[in-house]
Chain A
Amino acid sequence: ILNVEQSPQSLHVQEGDSTNFTCSFPSSNFYALHWYRWETAKSPEALFVMTLNGDEKKKGRISATLNTKEGYSYLYIKGSQPEDSATYLCAFSEGGKLIFGQGTELSVKP
């Protein structure tokens, strides 16, 4: 059974703080690693799909890195804003089937 682990489970930061979370996944048979943002009362929104070892992707203040050899990905948020408050999910793609982690719940206080 594949395990995708995310840490921390939850994070409370002040507006303006930079923060990062970790996603650990199996390092064998790697296809892709997805990141999603899930705000309360909305549907999950795709942030990044990462496929190559050493990949770095950026979208505004959010960026992500990927290390497929050691099986981890980091998501960084620079200068957190209250609107960044959401659950951030990573998902390991196993041939088209997404295996999700439990998520990191981020709360940004103004």
Chain B
Amino acid sequence: KAGVTQTPRYLIKTRGQQVTLSCSPISGHRSVSWYQQTPGQGLQFLFEYFSETQRNKGNFPGRFSGRQFSNSRSEMNVSTLELGDSALYLCASSLSPGSNQPQHFGDGTRLSIL
């Protein structure tokens, strides 16, 4: 069974640009969450999607957005990139939303902003 797949693995952008990251969950998993990891802040929750609807959102500015498609694949978009957006972005999937579901993480997309 294939794991969670994130593309691209690495990305370099400049300030002001926008970026789209992609996540394909484990087959059969319908819930997808996104996290940002920076050295100082640790893993921070961005948002959670289930059935193409955003169920939860973390404390991030509106420049961060996401969506989920009918096949459960998800994308996140960051517009007007800032230097502070340089981070590892992790996607995780689970069978369904819910506190007692373990999350299965992808390898992440490392985004560097110049």
CB-CB under 8 A from B33, the residues of chain A are 98
**Interface residues in B, total, Cβ within 8 A:** 27
Give every chain B residue within 8 A of A103 (Cβ-Cβ): 42
- Say yes or no: A96 contacts B98, CB within 8 Å: yes
Count the A residues whose beta carbon is within 8 Å of the partner chain — how many?
A: 24
Choose the segment among B10-18, B43-51, B66-74, B76-84 that binds chain A (4+ C-beta atoms closer than 8 Å).
B43-51
User: How far in angstroms is the closest Cβ of chain B from A43?
Assistant: 4
A-B pairs with lowest CB-CB distance, top 3: A31-B99, A46-B102, A93-B99
Q: Can you spell out 21 A-B residue pairs with CB atoms less than 8 angstroms apart?
A: A36-B105, A42-B107, A43-B3, A43-B106, A43-B107, A43-B108, A44-B90, A46-B104, A49-B101, A51-B99, A51-B100, A93-B99, A93-B100, A96-B48, A96-B97, A96-B99, A98-B45, A98-B103, A99-B45, A100-B35, A100-B43
In the complex the two chains form, what is the Cα distance from A36 to B33 in whole Å? 15
Check: A71 CB closer than 8 A to any chain B CB.
Answer: no
Q: Which residue of A lies closest to B58 (CB)?
A: A97
Task: Say yes or no: A34-B56 contact (C-beta < 8 A), given A43-B107, A89-B43, A99-B45.
Answer: no
Asked if B55 is at the interface (CB within 8 A of a chain A CB), the reply is yes
